[in-house]
Structure 1
Amino acid sequence: CPGGARPPQQTLNAFVDEYRDRYGVESICRVVQIAPSGYYLHAARARQPERRSTRAQQDELLCEDIKRVWEDNMRCYGVVKVWKQLRRDKVHVARCTVARLMRHLGLQGVRRGQVVRTTVPDGNAVCPLDKVQRQFKADRPNQLWVSDFTYVSTWQGWLYVAFVIDVFARRIVGWRVSNSMKTDFVLDALEQALYARQPGHTDGLIHHSDRGSQYVSIRYTERLAEAGIEPSVGSKGDSYDN
């Protein structure tokens, strides 16, 4: 465990449960440094749930109510709203107990204003020069493309949308949606733009983006070079290039 911390008792008991038939209870307890009597009590309670403490039995019933309220409300309710809904349902429980059990179950509510960091600069990558200098103007198609991606909150979680815009037409020429921020999905947006516009090696096309690790990755820059496109990267942390 990190920092030498002792694992929770439940984790140790589960470990003994898994390997008891192979190594024996006594030898495992000696290695993980738990009392065999404590483990045998855990095993007896697992076989006979009625032997558990009153609190453990109440917690089991409350967990079912908490999961029901959380699921019925589209998994959006946090501790306070779950607690208030339980009170309306005539389930009398302390708010701190709801917080403890939701933490145990791994449940949490949706937070307003939650920010997702999309631009993660790669400090080890060699970035191309900024050939645009915020002059987002073009005299013809396939002269300047700008790329970026953003995020959208949905009931299924965060989705990320990558796009490539032709500055001359102010039109999205390539886009892709993904549930992760990996290089593949921004590369797919670029591939769609290349297929739609078919830029030539003599067009002098410049591709401009921010310093996100996806855009300065080896795979992305190699694909730009293969298509005869000149890369351009804006300054670090500059929202005007976003």
Structure 2
Amino acid sequence: MLRVIIYGSILSPFVRKLLAYLGEKNIAFELKGVGIGDPDPGFRAASPLGKMPAMEDDGFTLADSSAIIHYLEAKYPEPALIPADPQERGQVIWWDEFGDTVFALCSGKMFFNRVVAPKFLNRKGDAAMADQAEREELPKLLDYLESALPASGFLVGDRLTLADLAVASPLMNFRHCGARIDPAVHPKIAAWSEAILARPSLAPWVEKEERMMKKGMGEA
């Protein structure tokens, strides 16, 4: 049986989101690890811009986590992680955009400059940019998310959707930078993120990347 091939690094919030989605949909896949600017021919063929994640599905290639997910949702509609209801679908698309752009952009400034550049690329990161993102950008984003989280514990429709996976994923990158959620300040986010990141679709990847982080930082 042919399996979907995913190219990417589990430390990427976009790859992490996609892997969680595949797990929730029970779609068999093979992960081929690639890094920034990786010359792997399969990856470069699937991702013309060299960005991750990228996918090959029986000869069909596609890049960008959201594009891949919408393709797979159409091909494997059950269980639905993108609702059919117009309002709920709109909300899921919004949260996916929030996670991929606003939230991931903030985490990227911190993660790249504090972790990727010094620990994996052997070059100095922009500490001032990372500090400014944590000090000025992150609190506003967390305040907004805290105010928007419903009592149900899911972002849209009182059940798990792509929205939860897309927004929870960048939180791992914040965590790797030392910016953890304070339950006293953002109790809803703390409970929600802990529940989402502990799901069987995410927990094994979280454990694996935490081991990678320790190794990359020279820890035992």
TM-score under structure 1 length normalisation: 0.24
Q: Per residue, is there more helix in 1 or in 2?
A: 2
Higher relative contact order (CA 8 A, sep 6+): 2
Q: Per residue, is there more strand in 1 or in 2?
A: 1
Structure possessing the higher radius of gyration over alpha carbons: 1
